[in-house]
């Protein structure tokens, strides 16, 4: 479904993503694990096209500050030079790191905006109903401004917005970051509900344990480079992985 | 005296609101301080004059054509000029300011301006309110200013396109990740801003003659109002219009109409020195700090 070939991303001279290659197949839930600064967010932003947008914005100001190399192929089409809205239209939707929502809009308006590219009102209505089913907590917050919601609620809004866009490939950038254990539980439970919808998911996380039971394949990156990959079982058997990303010391 | 200030202050406030709504909506939705609107205002005036006097358009058709063409011009200005410097605020300001000045000076160079250029009122005559004679054109301006403000509120809060523009203003990257295009929304907001500015010109020019200096005056006014009102809040904008409108009328009544411009320039200096975030920009400031 998605194929990343030799992706390299530089900010000025600093390398953020270093020669990453991996494949996401339809129906997969792929986890990408790494510590702060490993390149997770850059990777997600590059796949969603935001890095390309920032690069072009900076070029207009004069100067080449960001370089992106490699091929990004989605459903057989090279999307490396496509802008974010094109990618959303094709089905790649990102729920961003630290759940940035539209603070001054109500929760419901946030979710409606998620379906911005969908013209059919009936479909949006159905996805909204589905989102409230996945996140029952949002039902009573419909009319509240998203800026007044808690971090966990904003994360649900952020994932909900992405779902409203009707994605084929859902990108989730650190969905558990900064959430309370209860909120983490709710998000993880939502993950299995989303999985049942038949979506393909690519997610990043620092702390792998809550996510691990759901993934089909995992990658571990450090300083932008791939250092290890494997199925859930393979990763769980590696001692280094266990201590670094699961908090288990032997 | 008091009644006169009360009634004409309201008219002055409505005029301020109408000329600053365009500038403020563009800034609020896309963060572009589009200073070319002084030029747009003047262009709309001369274009309407040309359509009525040379091409024999009826007033309403001429007004509609001008507003539409100015909306397209506003969009083109973004697509051709601003897009190249987007993101660099200083360059945006310089480019649009230069364009606005060039437009206004071009009209002067071509021999426009002075007497002989004026637009017809929609309705002549008037009524008395609180013993003050007030023309229908001025009443119309008050009505349209309120209507446009309400329509803008409806558009940005109740339609998907409007919500998308607001979303882009609140969090660009999140909007991008949901498929809203940044250049699309900026083009849209520049077109709306230019259209409202053109509408203001069509309604306000009949009160006097179309003079080059009006473009400059409008530019100063829209800046004064927007600076005083805080750059993103509609509530603040309306409040600023009322304060400056009444202040302007009071000053011109008590002292002399010559002091009117000083009111606006003074307001800009005062606000920038003492309350740079505008009248009710405080909460915003706090939010950003947290």
Q: Do A105 and B171 touch (CB under 8 A)?
A: no
| A146 contact residues in B (CB cutoff 8 A) | none
Q: What is the CA radius of gyration of chain B?
A: 19
**Position A117 in a domain:** yes
Q: Quick one: pLDDT at residue A247?
A: 72
| B164 contact residues in A (CB cutoff 8 A) | 113, 116
The minimal CB distance from A112 to the residues B85, B163, B173 is found for: B163
Identify the closest residue of chain A to B90 by CA–CA distance. A61
- d(C-alpha A79, C-alpha B146), whole Å: 47
The minimal CB distance from A105 to the residues B85, B167, B184 is found for: B167
- Paired with A225 in beta bridges are A222
Domain B2-289: CATH class, spelled out? mainly alpha
Q: For residue A115, give the 3-state DSSP assignment.
A: coil
Q: Are A205 and A44 in contact, with CB atoms under 8 Å apart? A: no
**Position A250 in a domain:** no
Low-confidence stretches of chain A (pLDDT beneath 70): 249-250
Q: Do A116 and B182 touch (CB under 8 A)?
A: no
The minimal CB distance from A93 to the residues B83, B171, B177 is found for: B177
Inform me whether the C-beta atom of residue A8 falls under 8 Å from chain B C-beta atoms: no
Give the angle subtended at the CA of B256 by the CAs of B254 and B261, to the nearest 5°: 115
Q: DSSP characters for A119-164?
A: --HHHHHHHHHHHHHH-GGGGGGTTSBGGGS-HHHHHHHHHHHHHH
CATH number of domain containing A133? 3.40.50.300
Q: What is the CA radius of gyration of chain A?
A: 18
| B174 contact residues in A (CB cutoff 8 A) | 96, 100-102, 158, 161
Q: Do A61 and B87 touch (CB under 8 A)?
A: yes
A216 DSSP assignment: S
- d(C-alpha A151, C-alpha A175), whole Å: 11
The minimal CB distance from B167 to the residues A49, A113, A162 is found for: A113
Cα dihedral B69, B75, B77, B79 sign: negative
Q: Are B221 and B268 in contact, with CB atoms under 8 Å apart? A: no
Q: Do B177 and A94 touch (CB under 8 A)?
A: yes
Q: What is the number of CB-based contacts under 8 A between chain A and chain B?
A: 89
In which domain, by residue range, is A51 found? Answer: 2-245
- d(C-alpha B62, C-alpha B68), whole Å: 10
Q: Quick one: pLDDT at residue B232?
A: 64
Q: What CA–CA distances, in Å, run from B274 to A227, B267, B269, B284, B287?
A: 55, 10, 9, 16, 19
Residue that has been written with the tokens 């002549």 in this structure:
B124
The model's pLDDT over A180-198, given as tens digits with 9 standing for 90+, comes to 999 999 999 998 899 889 8
- d(C-alpha B287, C-alpha A219), whole Å: 38
In terms of Cα–Cα distance, which of A44, A128, A156 is closest to A94? A44
Q: For residue B260, give the 3-state DSSP assignment.
A: helix
Q: Quick one: pLDDT at residue B288?
A: 44
Q: Do B173 and A50 touch (CB under 8 A)?
A: yes
Q: Are A203 and A31 in contact, with CB atoms under 8 Å apart? A: yes
Task: Find residues 115-154 of chain A whose CB sits inside 8 Å of chain B.
Answer: 116-117
| A103 contact residues in B (CB cutoff 8 A) | 170-171
Residue that has been written with the tokens 């572009």 in this structure:
B32
**Element (DSSP H or E) covering residue A66:** strand A66-74
Q: Using CB atoms within 10 A of its CB, is residue B289 exposed (0-12), middle (13-18) or buried (19+)?
A: exposed
Sketch the domain layout of chain B as residue ranges: 2-289
- d(C-alpha B66, C-alpha A66), whole Å: 43
CB count in 10 Å sphere of residue B171 = 18
Q: Quick one: pLDDT at residue B272?
A: 85
Mean pLDDT of successive 10-residue stretches along chain B, which has 290 residues: 89 95 91 93 95 94 97 97 87 94 93 81 84 90 95 91 92 94 94 97 93 92 88 81 93 88 88 79 45
The minimal CB distance from B167 to the residues A83, A102, A162 is found for: A102
| B180 contact residues in A (CB cutoff 8 A) | 85, 113, 116
Number of domains in chain A: 1
Identify the closest residue of chain B to A164 by CA–CA distance. B178
Q: Quick one: pLDDT at residue A82?
A: 95
Q: Do B178 and A165 touch (CB under 8 A)?
A: yes
Q: Do A88 and B179 touch (CB under 8 A)?
A: yes
């Amino acid at each position: 479904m998605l194929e990343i070939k030799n992706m390299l991303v530089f900010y000025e001279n600093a390398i953020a993503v270093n020669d990453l290659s991996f494949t996401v197949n339809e129906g997969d839930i792929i986890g990408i694990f790494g510590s702060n600064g490993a390149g997770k967010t850059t990777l997600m932003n590059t796949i969603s096209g935001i890095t390309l947008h920032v690069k072009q914005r900076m070029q207009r100001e004069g100067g080449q500050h960001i370089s992106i190399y490699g091929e990004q192929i989605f459903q057989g089409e090279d999307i490396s030079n496509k802008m974010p809205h094109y990618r959303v239209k094709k089905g790649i939707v990102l729920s961003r790191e630290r759940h940035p929502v539209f603070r001054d809009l109500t929760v419901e308006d946030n979710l409606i905006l998620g379906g911005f590219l969908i013209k059919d009102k009936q479909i949006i209505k159905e996805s909204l109903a589905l989102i409230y089913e996945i996140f029952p907590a949002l039902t009573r917050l419909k009319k509240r401004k998203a800026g007044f919601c808690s971090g966990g609620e904003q994360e649900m809004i952020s994932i909900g917005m992405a779902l409203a866009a009707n994605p084929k490939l859902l990108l989730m950038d650190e969905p558990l970051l900064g959430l309370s254990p209860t909120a983490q539980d709710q998000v993880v439970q939502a993950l299995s509900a989303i999985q049942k919808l038949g979506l393909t998911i690519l997610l990043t996380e620092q702390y792998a344990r809550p996510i691990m039971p759901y993934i089909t394949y995992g990658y571990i990156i450090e300083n932008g480079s791939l250092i290890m990959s494997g199925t859930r079982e393979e990763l769980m058997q590696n001692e280094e992985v266990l201590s670094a990303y699961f908090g288990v010391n032997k | 005296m008091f009644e006169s200030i009360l009634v004409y202050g309201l008219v002055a406030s409505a005029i301020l609101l109408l000329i600053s709504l365009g500038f403020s909506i563009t800034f609020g939705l896309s963060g572009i301080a589009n200073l070319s609107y002084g030029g747009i205002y003047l262009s709309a005036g001369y274009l309407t004059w040309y359509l009525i006097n040379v091409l024999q358009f009826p007033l309403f058709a001429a007004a509609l054509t001008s507003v539409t063409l100015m909306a397209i011009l506003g969009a083109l200005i973004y697509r051709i000029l601003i897009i190249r410097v987007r993101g660099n605020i200083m360059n945006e300001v310089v480019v649009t300011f230069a364009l606005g000045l060039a437009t206004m000076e071009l009209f002067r160079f071509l021999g426009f301006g002075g007497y002989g250029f004026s637009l017809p009122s929609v309705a002549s005559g008037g009524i008395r309110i609180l013993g003050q004679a007030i023309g229908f054109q001025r009443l119309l301006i008050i009505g349209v200013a309120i209507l446009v403000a309400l329509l803008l509120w409806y558009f940005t809060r109740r339609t998907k396109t409007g919500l998308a523009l607001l979303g882009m203003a609140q969090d660009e990257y999140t909007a991008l990740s949901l498929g809203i295009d940044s250049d699309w929304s900026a083009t849209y907001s520049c077109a709306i801003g230019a259209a409202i500015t053109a509408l203001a010109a069509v309604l306000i020019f009949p009160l006097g003659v179309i003079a080059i200096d009006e473009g400059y005056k409008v530019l100063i006014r829209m800046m004064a109002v927007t600076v005083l009102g805080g750059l993103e809040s509609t509530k603040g904008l309306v409040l600023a219009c009322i304060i400056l409108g009444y202040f302007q009328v009071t000053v011109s009544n008590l002292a002399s109409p010559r002091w009117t411009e000083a009111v606006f320039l003074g307001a800009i200096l005062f606000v920038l020195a003492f309350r740079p975030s505008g009248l009710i920009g405080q909460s915003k400031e706090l939010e950003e700090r947290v």
